[in-house]
Amino acid sequence: MRRYIDNGRFHRVCLNLPPELGTDKGPTALELGVTSFAGRISQIFYLMSKKMRVSVSALKVNVKAEKPDDTKTVTKAHIEIKVTTNESEDKINRVW
């Protein structure tokens, strides 16, 4: 079953379930939550780098979430951030 979520600002997202329960035409709510978490991390990093005047030319955030079969939700998340910049590693670490 497809469900559409609207944020009230003209943005709509289709949610669905994996093939055994749905049509797999969109992320599950849990997958969207993990994606949203990665998006928020990137926004915070971007805003802090601007505030600290640290130049960042590219930023990639990868969140790998673990949800064991015997649980109903994510139990661990591994975050990897890749930054393309001419700044020192020390400056980038201060942003984080």
pTM of the complete model: 0.80
Report pLDDT digits (tens) over 16-75: 988 888 888 889 889 999 999 999 999 999 999 999 999 999 999 999 999 999 998 999
Cα distance between residue 69 and residue 51, in whole Å = 42
Alpha carbon distances (Å) from 50 to 39, 44, 57, 60, 92: 17, 10, 11, 16, 12
pLDDT score recorded for residue 34: 94
Domains of the chain as residue ranges with CATH: 3-95 (3.30.300.20)
DSSP 23: -
Tokens of 52: 């600290």
pLDDT score recorded for residue 49: 96
